[in-house]
Amino acid sequence: MAQLSRRSFLSISAAAAGLGFAATSANASTKVPAKWDETYDVVVVGSGLAGMSAAVEATAAGASCVIIEKMAIVGGNSNINAGAMAVTGTPMQQKKGIKDSPELLAEDMLREGLGLGDPVQVKLVAEKSLEAWEWTRKTLGVEWNEQTVVAEGGHSVARGCITLSGTGSTIIMKGIEKAKQQGAKVMTRTYVEDVIREEGGRVLGLKVRTGYKFPDASSGTVRYIRAAKAVVLAHGGFGADVAFRVAHDPKLTDRFQTTNQPGATGELWRVASSIGCNVIQADWIQCGPWASPDEAGFGLAVGFAQDCCAMYGLWVNTTTGKRFVNELANRKVRADAIINLNNKEQQCIAIADSNAVEVSIRESRPGHLEKALEKGCVFKFDSLAAIAEKFKIPMDVLEAEVKAYNEDVRKKAQTDAMGRLLQVGARPLENGPWYVSRLAPKVHHCMGGIRIDENCAALDVLTDKPIPGLFAAGEATGGTHGAVRLGTCSITECIVHGRIAGQRAAKA
């Protein structure tokens, strides 16, 4: 359908021949520059985990390569990632006697994704998780905590490896260094204005703006970068782009903040769609339910609201005084519950007493609560009554909720009134001081994106076939997570995809 019309082609050729017009190719797109400013075999867009992995593999295969990053520093959201990666069959799992398999990981991802994940994509990521993790150790030299393996919500076993530094930026730094050693060039402050594709045909390269000053799309100098073999799109999600996210999910207005870095905007989602990619499931936008409106970005309150309150405390609607969701339901269920209440001008808070703090974050996150209190995103109260007074909560209802939970804890019930699994070590909520953080979901992850095949080739919306010269990887792609991206699966996806895309691009 998008093929060059034979009739048009003939008429243009005839005119060109007759009049001496020097047609250099069958392509007549107005976007193809008369001259390219630079040429590389592989042009990688984005310097997060997916782009970094692609660049390391492309250069390892002998390709010349450039990484294009619009922000002043490399890494994107991967820099502010907590460094936890889902891997099956690690030595840590073996040490702890945890039975796991790629099949089990795939089953978890498909089930929690509500059947919207593409089984081929899910299998790809699950089957290559161990290899990807080994690669970060052996090829990049990333150090991992060899004592720990964590269980994130939705996973049926503990399989999350944590970097020794506790952040994802370690992997980025080591990886970018490796890519550079292998000859990759890194261009920061370079904005991709367009991906240049022959009409219905091959992707040729990029129109960029060097010396770009975020977020001014007219800043910088236009240059054309040719990809002799292929472009790899690894531009990440659009969590920070209110206009684009409202187009796909109208309830995520500017009332809601994001955990993402400010450069997580949607211009390349728009461009990818406009050049014939099939952008799927872009309306599945994950919000972190545990975030606080009293601080920017991912923030500190998360550690309190999730690890302490969601596990050992309560989440309460201040208007009714009642709990409103299973505090350990998946992120989608919890965030939607809060978003819908917020859009009705009702406020939700996370509550813990000193017992809850004691059995949760006091030891595992030393000093965390104090930092959050100092920052002003967690608040301290002498009593439950003081909380009720401050947030205008009906005290009798709130007290009844706490009492009901405490009774379940005392009789060692399996689940509480909201269906939450009671945690081992849970204690009744009764000892002050008490602590509160406000809850306002922040946009966290885009599950949808460019549809790809098992080689990470971007598929043409017209034909379902690969677009020649175009690969995609990481959060910019759709089909892996379906309705819900499980915690720790993002690093796995980015590295697995990025490596495949880089290998294939080098051979394209």
- CA dihedral 100→102→108→110, nearest 10 degrees, is -170
Contacts of 111 (CB under 8 A, 6+ apart): none
Query: Does 222 engage in binding with a second copy (CB under 8 A)?
Result: yes
Work out whether 445 is an interface residue with a second copy (CB under 8 A): no
Nearer to a second copy, 296 or 462 (CB): 462
Q: 487 and 109 in contact (C-beta within 8 Å)?
A: no
Residue whose CB is less far from a second copy, 199 or 353: 199
Total residues interacting with a second copy, rule: CB under 8 A: 65
* Tokens representing residue 380 in the block: 């301290």
Of residues 154-193, those binding a second copy (CB under 8 A): 193
Question: Which residues from 330-389 bind a second copy, rule CB under 8 A?
Answer: 336, 339-340, 343
Binding flag, residue 31, a second copy (CB under 8 A) = yes
Residue 117 Cβ, how far from a second copy at the closest point, in Å?
A: 7
Task: Collapse the DSSP code of 159 into the 3-class scheme (helix H, G, I; strand E, B; otherwise coil) and give the result.
Answer: coil
The C-alpha atoms of residue 21 and residue 12 are separated, in whole angstroms, by 10
Long-range contacts of 33-37 (CB under 8 A, 24+ apart): 33/196, 33/207, 33/224, 35/224, 36/205, 36/224, 36/225, 36/226, 37/223, 37/224, 37/225
Q: Record the tokens describing residue 180, joined without a space.
A: 């550079």
> Does 427 contact a second copy by CB under 8 A?
no
Q: Under the criterion CB under 8 A, does residue 455 sit at the interface with a second copy?
A: no
The DSSP result for 281-293, as a single string, is -TT-EEEETT--T
Q: Does 449 bind a second copy (CB under 8 A)?
A: no
Closest by alpha carbon to 91, among 133, 142, 152?
Answer: 133
Task: Please identify, using beta-carbon distances, which residue of 282 and 402 lies nearer to a second copy.
Answer: 282
Give 508's contacts (C-beta < 8 A, 6+ positions apart): 229, 230, 468, 469, 471
**267 is an interface residue for a second copy by CB under 8 A:** yes
Rule CB under 8 A: say whether 4 interacts with a second copy: yes
Q: Tell me if 11 contacts a second copy by CB under 8 A.
A: yes
By beta-carbon proximity to a second copy, the closer residue of 336 and 399 is 336
**Which of 275, 239, 243 minimizes the C-alpha distance to 257?**
239
Which residues within the stretch 474-503 sit at the binding site for a second copy (CB under 8 A)? Answer: 479
The residue (of 101 and 343) whose beta carbon lies closer to a second copy is 343
When asked if residue 127 is in the footprint of a second copy (CB under 8 A), the reply is no
Instruction: Assess 282 for contact with a second copy (CB under 8 A).
Output: yes
Considering the rule CB under 8 A, would residue 461 count as an interface residue with a second copy?
A: yes
424 is a site residue for a second copy (CB under 8 A): no
CB of 251 to a second copy, least distance (A): 4
Residue whose pair of structure tokens reads 């990807």 in the numeric block? 132
Q: Catalytic residue numbers?
A: 331
Enclosing H/E stretch for 169: helix 169-181
Q: What order of strands is seen across the sheet that includes strand 348-352?
A: 314-317, 348-352, 434-439, 379-381
At closest approach, how far in Å is the CB of 13 from a second copy? 11
Minimum CB separation of residue 158 from a second copy in Å reads 26
Q: Between the CA atoms of 363, 368, 370 and 374, what dihedral angle is there, to the nearest 10 degrees? A: 180
Positions in the binding site for a second copy (CB under 8 A):
1-2, 4-5, 7-9, 11-12, 15-16, 19-22, 26-34, 114-119, 193-194, 199, 207, 222, 243, 247-251, 267, 270-271, 273-274, 276, 278-284, 336, 339-340, 343, 448, 451, 459, 461-462, 464, 479
